[in-house]
Amino acid sequence: MEKLPIENAHLEYKKASSSVPRDCWETVSAFANTDGGVIILGVTETKK
């Protein structure tokens, strides 16, 4: 498995199996009101 970059102010991972998750829209709004960013669907970040 390839390591992905850690989430930050411009990168967000969202678990999505069949549709866009509801909490995704909060991130879309935050990115739209700042410098923008990237949302990657279908990936879950593991916490250490």
| Total number of domains constituting the chain | 1
pLDDT-derived band at 1, boundaries 50, 70, 90: low
CA separation for the pair 35, 10 (Å, rounded): 8
Phi then psi for residue 14, to 5 deg, are -130, 135
The 10s digit of each residue's pLDDT in 16-36 is 989 999 999 999 999 999 999
pLDDT for 28: 96
> Chain-wide mean pLDDT for the chain?
90
Q: How many CA atoms lie within 13 A of 16 on its CB side?
A: 14
Q: Calculate what percentage of the chain has a pLDDT beyond 90.
A: 71
Q: How many CA atoms lie within 13 A of 8 on its CB side?
A: 5
Instruction: Decide if pLDDT at 48 tops 90.
Output: no
Domain that holds residue 15: 1-48
